């Protein structure tokens, strides 16, 4: 009987400790975000700025593609090239790229069509020709759905010190119309931001490849971009290769502004499930830690823990927990936004509740079906991140 009591007590203490760690992470994210984001970019002497090769892998067209790509032609940076990579010659993005190259003839821009299969990752296969042709040692891989400010590239380069090998931007969402866009923005400004900033503070690899600046010579030491083609999570593995070689990986003071023209809650949830599957296979420990750092689940189990340990009323504790978490998330997203949110407090509350109520279900969905569907293809990810494509059986005659 005493053994059972000690076990229950130990479990309650462990849960309460996890709750305390979560709040430390929350506060750390707010403070670090306040110090880090939206700082004034220091302008260096132009002659001291290294050249940058920007690789833009493209697939398909959405209503914002032209405007997003145009921001890369208007960067205030003395020396850079844009390398557009398109897999199919009939892709509609081809005409948009060609029209921009005609509109801005003074910008050094090149177009690569067809790609080359070097691994299982379709993004790497698409951009490998641009990567091989890059003339500068600094490479910026930037997804098609991103838009840049005029000084964004300068901000990222300024983060490169002698010991820094890779600089990445924290994902966020541009102000767009519609409730589904608001739901995405709330997720990236709260749940994602807290874990992303917290991991960065603790030196944990949290890199996403949607906007990532790195030294090509170090990537070549690890086997070059073709080596990372065997992973679907090539961004994480790339950053890990830098860390393993003693380089620092830093976060930029500007966020990566996602501005896709086609968006919906269903597509957003599908993306979250895919990312969760990648994290589970690449870093298996996330399957244990992610669920317990969700507001509702953590609040529920901690309510039991404090009622057992301190004889507090569980329901009152749970309601206070949710309220304080909500206020903390509102402060955090305001820090990430760098100004007023494009919604009322009531709209924020509705979007926040939807995110918090659905995310645990999405995590469970990722566990139940480990197959990853990306760009109409299916993949099976092995432990460690190595991926193989699931080839459908040939049709019966």
pLDDT along the chain (397 residues), means of 10: 72 92 92 86 68 95 94 95 94 94 96 92 94 96 94 93 93 93 95 89 85 96 92 89 94 93 89 81 68 86 94 94 96 93 93 90 78 71 66 54
User: What's the confidence (pLDDT) of residue 231?
Assistant: 86
39 phi/psi in degrees, rounded to 5? -85, 155
Active site residue 235: yes
From 148, 153, 146, select the one nearest 46 (Cα to Cα): 153
Answer whether 355's CB lies under 8 Å from 57's CB: no
Residue 320 CA to residue 326 CA, distance in Å, equals 10
Query: What pLDDT is stored for residue 1 in this prediction?
Result: 47
Could you give all domains of the chain from N- to C-terminal order, each with its CATH number? 18-40+177-196+264-373 (no CATH), 49-169+210-262 (3.90.550.10)
Q: Which of 108, 235, 244, 329 is catalytic?
A: 235
DSSP state of 231: B
Look at residue 46 in the predicted model and tell me its pLDDT.
61
What's residue 213's pLDDT?
A: 97
Rounded Cα distance, 59 and 147, in Å: 16
373 pairs with which residues across the strands? 378
The DSSP line for 59-75 is -S--TTHHHHHHHHHT-
Separation of alpha carbons 153 and 74, rounded Å: 11
Supply the pLDDT for residue 54.
98
Cβ density class 314-335: b for 16+ within 10 Å, e for less: beebbeebbeebbebbbbbbbb
User: ∠ at Cα 148 (146, 154), nearest 5°?
Assistant: 135
Encode burial over 77-92: b for 16+ CB neighbours within 10 A, e otherwise.
beebbbbbbbbeeebe
Dist. CA 203–CA 246, nearest whole Å: 12
Could you tell me which of 255, 54, 239, 77 has the C-alpha nearest to residue 164? 239
pTM: 0.89
Contact 91, 65 (CB under 8 A): no
pLDDT at 116: 92
Q: Residue 206's CB: how many other CB atoms inside 10 A?
A: 22
Q: Long-range pairs for 13-17 at CB < 8 Å and ≥24 separation?
A: 13/305, 13/309, 15/292, 15/301, 15/302, 15/304, 15/305, 16/302, 16/305, 16/306, 16/309
- Rounded to an integer, what distance in angstroms lies between the CA atom of residue 158 and that of residue 126? 29
Residue 12: the pLDDT is 92
């Amino acid at each position: 009987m005493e053994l059972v009591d000690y076990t229950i007590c130990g479990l309650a203490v462990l849960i309460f400790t996890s709750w305390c760690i979560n709040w430390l992470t929350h506060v750390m994210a707010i403070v670090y975000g306040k110090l880090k984001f939206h700082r004034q970019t220091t302008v260096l002497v132009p002659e001291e700025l290294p050249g940058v090769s920007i690789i833009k892998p493209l697939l398909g067209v959405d209503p914002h593609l032209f405007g997003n790509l145009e921001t890369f032609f208007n960067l205030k940076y003395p020396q850079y090239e844009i390398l557009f990579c398109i897999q199919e010659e009939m892709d509609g993005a081809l005409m948009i790229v060609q029209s921009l190259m005609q509109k801005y003839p003074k910008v050094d821009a090149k177009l690569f069509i067809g790609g080359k299969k070097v691994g299982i990752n379709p993004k790497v296969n698409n951009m490998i020709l641009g990567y091989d042709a890059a003339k500068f040692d600094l490479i910026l891989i930037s997804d098609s759905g991103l838009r840049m400010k005029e000084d964004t590239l300068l901000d990222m380069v300024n983060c490169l010190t002698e010991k820094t090998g890779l600089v990445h931007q924290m994902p966020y969402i541009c102000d767009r119309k519609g409730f589904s866009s608001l739901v995405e923005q709330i997720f990236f400004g709260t749940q994602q931001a807290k874990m992303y900033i917290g991991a960065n503070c603790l030196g944990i690899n949290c890199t996403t490849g949607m906007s990532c600046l790195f030294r090509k010579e170090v990537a070549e030491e690890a086997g070059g971009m073709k080596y990372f083609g065997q992973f679907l999570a090539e961004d994480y593995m790339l950053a890990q290769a830098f860390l393993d070689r003693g380089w620092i990986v830093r976060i930029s003071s500007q966020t990566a502004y996602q501005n896709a023209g086609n968006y919906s809650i269903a597509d957003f949830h599908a993306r979250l499930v895919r990312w969760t599957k990648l994290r589970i296979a690449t870093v298996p420990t996330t399957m244990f830690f992610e669920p317990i750092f969700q507001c509702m689940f953590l609040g529920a189990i901690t309510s039991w823990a404090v009622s057992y340990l301190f004889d507090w009323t569980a329901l009152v504790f749970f309601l206070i927990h949710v309220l304080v978490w909500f206020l903390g998330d509102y402060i955090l997203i305001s820090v990430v936004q760098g100004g007023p949110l494009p919604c009322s407090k009531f709209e924020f509350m509705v979007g926040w509740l939807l995110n918090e109520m659905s995310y645990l279900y999405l995590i469970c969905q990722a566990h139940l079906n480990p197959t990853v569907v990306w760009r109409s293809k299916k993949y099976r990810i092995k432990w460690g991140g190595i991926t193989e494509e699931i080839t459908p059986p040939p049709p019966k005659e």
